[in-house]
Amino acid sequence: MMGLTKMRLLNVAVLGTVLVSVCLRPARATDGSYAVVIHQETFADPNWRPVAETLLSRHNGKIVTWDDDIAKVLAGLRAIFPRYACFICTPEQATREFVRDVHRLTRRLDDDPYTDVIWGILTGYDAGNALQVARCNEPLVAGRLLTATVGAPLDSYDAGVMFNELEPNTYWRKSATGIEKMSCPTDTTEMIVNALNKEAPDVFITSGHATERDWLPGYGYRSGVFKCDDAGLYAVDTQGRRYDVASPNPKVHLAIGNCLIAHIPDRQCMALALMRSAGVRQMLGYTIPTGNGYGGWGVKDYFSELQAGRFTLAEAHYANGLALIHELEKRNLNTDAAADSHRGLPGDRDTVVLYGDPAWPVRIPPRPLPWTQTVKEKDGHYRFTIETHVRSDWDNRPVIELLPHRIHDVRIIEGAELEPVIGDNFILVAMRNELLPMKGNRGEALPIRGDFEEGQRFQITFTASRVPSQPQ
**In this structure, are 103 and 38 located in the same domain?**
yes
- Based on the structure, what is the number of domains in the chain? 2
Kindly state the percentage of the chain with pLDDT values over 70.
90
Summarised one tens digit per residue, pLDDT across range 337-387 is 999 999 999 999 999 999 999 999 999 998 889 999 999 999 999 999 999
Could you tell me if residue 471 is inside a domain? no
Amino acid residing at 222: R
Summarised one tens digit per residue, pLDDT across range 185-224 is 999 999 999 999 999 999 999 999 999 999 999 998 999 9
379: left (phi over 0), alpha (psi -120 to 50) or beta: left
Summarised one tens digit per residue, pLDDT across range 436-450 is 655 544 445 556 777
CATH of the domain at 306: 3.40.50.1460
Backbone angles phi, psi at 136, to 5 degrees: -75, 100
Could you tell me if residue 394 is inside a domain? yes
**In this structure, are 337 and 397 located in the same domain?**
no
Q: What is the pTM (predicted TM-score) of this model?
A: 0.93
Say if residue 14's pLDDT is above 60: no
Could you tell me if residue 424 is inside a domain? yes
Domain boundary among 338, 368, 398: 368
Domain boundary among 311, 333, 368: 368
**In this structure, are 330 and 305 located in the same domain?**
yes
Cβ-Cβ contacts under 8 Å for 53 (sequence gap 6 or more): none
Domain, as residue range, for 390: 2-24+369-466
Could you tell me if residue 63 is inside a domain? yes
What is the residue-averaged pLDDT of the chain?
91
Say if residue 20's pLDDT is above 50: no
**In this structure, are 16 and 67 located in the same domain?**
no
Summarised one tens digit per residue, pLDDT across range 142-154 is 999 999 999 889 9
Question: Between vectors from CA 100 to CA 94 and to CA 105, what angle results, nearest 5°?
Answer: 105
**In this structure, are 170 and 50 located in the same domain?**
yes
**In this structure, are 417 and 306 located in the same domain?**
no
Could you tell me if residue 197 is inside a domain? yes
Note the pLDDT of residue 28. 44
**In this structure, are 318 and 375 located in the same domain?**
no
Average pLDDT over every residue of 324-344? 96
Q: What is the rounded CA–CA span in Å between residue 175 and residue 159?
A: 5
**In this structure, are 323 and 186 located in the same domain?**
yes
Could you tell me if residue 185 is inside a domain? yes
**In this structure, are 118 and 242 located in the same domain?**
yes
Note the pLDDT of residue 286. 98
**In this structure, are 298 and 342 located in the same domain?**
yes
Confidence of residue 10 (pLDDT cuts 50, 70, 90): low
Higher-scoring residue by pLDDT: 443, 297 = 297
Q: Are strands 84-88 and 232-236 parallel, antiparallel or unpaired?
A: unpaired
Could you tell me if residue 472 is inside a domain? no
Domain boundary among 353, 368, 383: 368
Note the pLDDT of residue 163. 96
**In this structure, are 17 and 40 located in the same domain?**
no
The residue among 162, 201, 175, 203 whose CA lies nearest residue 364 is 203
Q: What is the rounded CA–CA span in Å between residue 308 and residue 365?
A: 8
**In this structure, are 421 and 359 located in the same domain?**
no
142 contacts 197 by C-beta, under 8 angstroms: no
3-state secondary structure the chain: CHHHHHHHHCCEEECCCCCCCCECCCCCCCCCCEEEEEEHHHHHCCCCHHHHHHHHHHHCCEEEEECCCHHHHHHHHHHHCCCEEEEECCCCCCCHHHHHHHHHHCCCCCCCCCCCCEEEEECCCCHHHHHHHHHCCCCEECCEEEECCCCCCHHHCCEEEEECCCCCCEEEEEECCEEEEEECCCCCHHHHHHHHHHCCCCEEEEEECECCCEECCCCCCCCCEEEEECCEEEEECCCCCEEECCCCCCEEEEEEEECCCCCCCCCCCHHHHHHHHCCEEEEEEECCCCCCCHHHHHHHHHHHCCCCCCCCHHHHHHHHHHHHHHHHHHCCCCCHHHHHCCCCHHHHCCCEEEECCCCCCEECCCCCCCEEEEEEEECCEEEEEEEECCCECCCCCCEEEECCCCEEEEEEEECHHHCCEECCCEEEECCCCCCCCCCCCCCCCCCCCCCECCCCEEEEEEEEEECCCCCC
